[in-house]
Structure 1
Amino acid sequence: MKQVFRSTLATVVGWVWMAFAAFNAVDLIARYSGQASMVAAAVLGVLTALVFVTCLRPAVILSEDGVRVRNPLRNAFVPWRAVDEVTVSHSITIISGGGRVRCWVPQASARERAAAARRGRSASAPVPARGRFRTEPVRSKGERAAAEALAGKTHADWVAEQITERAEAARRAASMAEASKAAGASTAPGTPAATGTPAEPGAGTTAGVEAGTGTGTGAGALKVTWAPSALAAFAVAALPVVAAFLA
């Protein structure tokens, strides 16, 4: 199952700016007045590229193969079995082997932390007793369970838990598959374990390599690359800048 996590506020701001930039671009074309219009177009293009890479691009995507992190200028991918640890401070950090990637979104601000702490205190408070003069609504069992699950947690904490749980589930599934494969190989007809005949030289080494397939370096590792869409956005924004200098 694919899950995509973004910043709702940043996404709304980004699309509002895109609509504003499109309107102004049409106006600049319709009322072109030489160098002044080119300078305005250059400023508009640079600001639009910045808004795109900081508001619309960043996301954390959980797929079947692993977790993909889209930061403003870089893309990172970590296979599930290569996720060693996930930590949360003001942002989520995924540790894999000797590398780490910090997620641009979602982030936990001090205000959100304080709100999460208040939710935690309210969730742990005793449920008001039903009475004749009860003024506070009594939450249902499902509402109380949801409140307790989110008590004291920010959105970043919840996303980090999703990443950790899916990584652990992938490692458990891989371990079970390897154990099943090893058990099937040991009981297969004609193998030394089944017939009791001495194994040929090197046979044990070959079996060990096959049983270990998919672990260690085969599990993959953190891969970080430049984001083509971000580079393209800045390349397009550079065009009116160059034109403004040449005009």
Structure 2
Amino acid sequence: MKQTYRSRSAFVMAWFWLAFVAFNVYDLINKYTGKASMVALAVLAVLTVIVYVVALRPATVFTEHELVGRNPLRTVRVPWAAIDDVTVSHAISVHHGGGEDGSGDGGVLRLWTPMSSARERAKAQRRGMPSQRRRGRFATEPAVSRAEQAAQEALAGRTHADWVGDQIRERAEGARRRTGEQPVQVRTTWAYDAIAVAAAALALVIAAIVVP
């Protein structure tokens, strides 16, 4: 079963941008005025490339056999059994062994999504702490049980990126425990979709320059 994690806010804003671009392209084509329209189309195309590679393309994908990191310009496929460790700070870093040449040299895959900002981590820290609200001389909040307090402490400071990092660790450990499953090489490919979008935008830029 495939699971995909990405920045929800960036993804939604990117689709709003695409709707805005579609409306403007339709308007520019209907009211074509020559070079001015071509320049406007080229500007929209360049901005759309940036939005695509930064907001739409990046994703972290779990498949049955591997972790797929879709970054702006590359796609990295790391078999679960090849993952050695996972660290989470601002971004998730996946430490793995097994280079593409089969040498076994390790590397680090930094995932673009999900990320955790300092503000999000601080908010998670506050959410995990017990409430201390008081009104006058008497507390208005009921006493927190030991189990609830332990859960709050466990969740204190944890963000969505931390949770995804835990899922990666669990899958990697499970893969390494399976009998007969050996780490295989990590595969890295260029983001041909991003390259194609950039080439189309470049073609529009050139057309805007040469059109009289």
TM-score of Structure 1 vs Structure 2, range by shorter chain: 0.7 to 0.9
Q: Which residue matches 1:120?
A: 128
In structure 1, stretches of 5+ residues that fail to align are: 179-213
Q: How does 1:84-163 map to 2 (within 5 A)?
A: 84-97=84-97, 98-122=106-130, 135-136=140-141, 147=152, 150-163=155-168
Q: Deviations for 1:106-131, whole angstroms, at most 9, x for unmatched residues? A: 11111011112112323xx79x9xxx
Q: Deviations over 1:55-99 (max 9, x none)?
A: 111110011011100011110110000001111111011111221
- Tell me which residue corresponds to 2:101: none
Change (3 A) 1:246 1:136: same
Structure possessing the higher radius of gyration over alpha carbons:
1
For 1:117, the aligned partner's letter is: Q
| Higher percent of residues as helix | 1
> Which secondary structure state, in structure 2, belongs to the residue aligned with residue 4 of structure 1?
strand
Please list every run of 5 or more consecutive structure 2 residues that lacks an aligned counterpart in the other structure. 98-105
Asked if residue 246 in structure 1 is aligned to residue 197 in structure 2, the reply is: no
| Corresponding residue number in structure 2 for 1:17 | 17
C-alpha distance 134-229 of structure 1, shift in aligned 2 (>3 A): same
| Partner-residue secondary structure (3-state), 2:72 | coil
Is the partner of 2:167 in helix, strand or coil?
helix
Alignment match, 1:8: 8
Counterpart-to-counterpart distance in 2, 1:141 and 1:41:
61
1:165 maps to 2:173: no
User: Does structure 2 retain, via aligned residues, the 8 Å contact 1:96–1:221?
Assistant: no
Change in Cα spacing, 1:27 to 1:228, as seen in structure 2 (3 Å) is: same
| CA deviation after TM superposition for structure 1 residue 171, in Å | 1.2
**Could you tell which deviates more after superposition, 81-90 or 148-157?**
148-157
Counting only pairs closer than 5 Å after superposition, residues 179-190 of structure 1 correspond to structure 2 as none
| Percent of residue pairs identical | 54
Give TM-score, length-normalised by structure 1: 0.73
**Aligned residues: CA RMSD:** 2.4
